[in-house]
């Protein structure tokens, strides 16, 4: 019985010590604390304006105004008529910007011409909480104007061998009286055949003069005519005809061709002008 009484007294003593330690810790200056996250933010984008970007006709510069500073803003473009995204979709798949002093200016990615868009925005506050409320603004892109440059840098590749010419200058001249039609002084480079034949023809032989057109709606490229009635090579006049098609990247001003000359080559030549 005495042993039981001693054990009970010992247990009570240990409990008292633990209680004293806990009480002292809770009342000490070293006690810890944490801040609860603030209330979930609401979408605070009060205005958004759009303007065609100087960087590219396919992009738009967007100026947004926020009624108060937020750490991050997420945005997403969809076409009118598409299902509206919720805040979770915008957060997971959208792009981000960080405003300064309540406003921000940024440039979108490439957009389609003559298309109605809706730009959706959500905010993220200082505690990392995103808003469930979504702000949205509409924007209609204009019809993009075809603006072919007067000169390009060309890269040509003869498909069977992979050889060609790189870094040559191409002069592109609009044809009078023919909309979206252009003349090219050398489509595959002045030394293309010199390189292809290992120097068996002179530099500048068979330069590949060409006339092409661009469809103003689809931006498809068609070779109108190409080659020469009397192309000089091997010391004799050899006529050749170039045919083919391609595409015009209006957003980046890049023209690509898939060409064929059955007289001299018999195989395809790809050309990129940029």
Rounded Cα gap, residues 9 and 21, in angstroms: 19
Asked whether residue 156 carries a pLDDT value surpassing 60, the answer given is yes
Rounded Cα gap, residues 208 and 242, in angstroms: 8
Rounded Cα gap, residues 268 and 198, in angstroms: 19
Contact criterion met (CB below 8 Å) for 64 and 48: yes
Q: Considering only residues 215 and 200, tell me which one the structure prediction assigns the higher pLDDT.
A: 215
Rounded Cα gap, residues 232 and 201, in angstroms: 9
Q: What is the mean pLDDT of residues 184-197?
A: 94
Rounded Cα gap, residues 259 and 272, in angstroms: 11
Residue 201, classed as helix, strand or coil, is coil
Pairing of strands 243-249, 268-273: unpaired
pTM, two decimals, is: 0.69
Band of the pLDDT at 128, cuts 50, 70, 90? confident
Mean pLDDT of the chain: 82
Lowest mean pLDDT among 15-29, 89-103, 138-152, 228-242: 15-29
Band of the pLDDT at 79, cuts 50, 70, 90? very high
Residue 58, classed as helix, strand or coil, is coil
The pLDDT, as a whole number, for residue 1 is 46
Contact criterion met (CB below 8 Å) for 80 and 118: yes
Asked whether residue 267 carries a pLDDT value surpassing 90, the answer given is no
Q: Considering only residues 84 and 104, tell me which one the structure prediction assigns the higher pLDDT.
A: 84
Would you say domain 45-140 falls under CATH 2.60.40?
yes
């Amino acid at each position: 019985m005495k042993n039981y009484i001693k054990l009970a007294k010992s247990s009570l003593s240990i409990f008292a010590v633990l209680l004293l330690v806990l009480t002292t810790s809770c009342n000490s200056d070293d006690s810890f604390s944490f801040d609860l996250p603030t209330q979930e933010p609401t979408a605070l984008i009060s205005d958004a304006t759009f303007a065609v970007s100087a960087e590219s006709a396919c992009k738009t510069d967007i100026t947004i105004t926020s009624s108060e500073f937020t750490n991050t803003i997420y945005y997403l473009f969809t076409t009118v008529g598409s299902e509206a995204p919720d805040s979770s979709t915008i957060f997971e798949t959208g792009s981000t910007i960080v405003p300064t002093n309540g406003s921000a200016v940024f440039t979108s990615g490439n957009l389609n011409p003559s298309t109605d868009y809706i730009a959706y925005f959500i905010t993220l506050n200082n505690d990392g909480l995103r808003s469930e409320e979504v702000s949205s603004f509409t924007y209609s892109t204009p019809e993009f104007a075809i603006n072919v440059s007067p000169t390009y840098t060309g890269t040509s590749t003869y498909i069977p061998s992979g050889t060609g010419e790189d870094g040559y200058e191409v002069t592109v001249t609009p044809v009078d009286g023919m909309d979206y039609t252009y003349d090219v002084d050398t489509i595959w480079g002045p030394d293309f055949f010199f390189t292809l034949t290992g120097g068996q023809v002179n530099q500048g032989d068979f330069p590949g003069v060409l006339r092409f057109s661009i469809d103003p709606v689809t931006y498809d490229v068609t070779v109108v005519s190409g080659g020469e009635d009397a192309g000089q090579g091997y010391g004799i006049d050899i006529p050749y005809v170039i045919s083919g098609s391609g595409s015009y990247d209006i957003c980046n001003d890049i023209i690509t061709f898939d060409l064929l000359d059955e007289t001299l080559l018999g195989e395809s030549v790809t050309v990129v002008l940029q």
